Amino acid sequence: MVCSLFRLRRGVWQTSTIAALAFLVVGCSEGKVSQCNQLIGVANQAVTQVQSVTQSANPAPGAPGTSNANNANNIEAMTRIATAADQARTEMEGLQFSDERLTQFQSRFVAMYTEIGNATRALVSSAQASNSQGAQQAFDQLKTATEKEAPLVTEVNQYCANPQ
């Protein structure tokens, strides 16, 4: 009787241990939904930061009819946008994905944020130097970089909407 009780307890302990380990493995590994939420969360945060800056900013640096004070405010706003792009890039780079497709999306976001930050800083430099040709080039680069966002977001949303 004592031996069978010991076997029963040992069996229960082994079953409990196996169940606990399985729970930890499943609980610690992140599924596709969780990883998608992380990626989307960083992207949404970047958009929110840029929108916050642009909503409080004045017309673009060097726009006709703007004063020097407005230009200084706009340069400050553009600098904050470059900083937000750098922060988004850093946060995006810090994410770890087991899903290869999400890693590809992550790389594209990192490249886009890098391009946005660089183009924005070039625009600021050109505006400060009153270099209209340089400002136009930087603006075109910024426009090209930001145009990548909508298709990328659409692809991420389509991929993440499929739970498998």
Query: Same structural domain for residues 119 and 64?
Result: yes
89, 81 in Cβ contact below 8 A?
Answer: no
Query: Same structural domain for residues 71 and 19?
Result: no
Range of the domain at 6: 1-30
Query: Same structural domain for residues 1 and 81?
Result: no
What tokens appear for 11 in the block? Answer: 């069996």
Q: What is the pLDDT of residue 70?
A: 64
Query: Same structural domain for residues 114 and 58?
Result: yes
What total of structural domains would you count in the chain?
2
Q: What is the pLDDT of residue 133?
A: 95
109, 160 in Cβ contact below 8 A?
Answer: no
Query: Same structural domain for residues 80 and 114?
Result: yes
C-alpha to C-alpha distance for 12 and 99, rounded to whole angstroms: 36
Query: Same structural domain for residues 9 and 85?
Result: no
pLDDT tier at 142, thresholds 50, 70, 90: very high
Query: Same structural domain for residues 69 and 133?
Result: yes
C-alpha to C-alpha distance for 85 and 22, rounded to whole angstroms: 40
Higher pLDDT, 132 or 70: 132
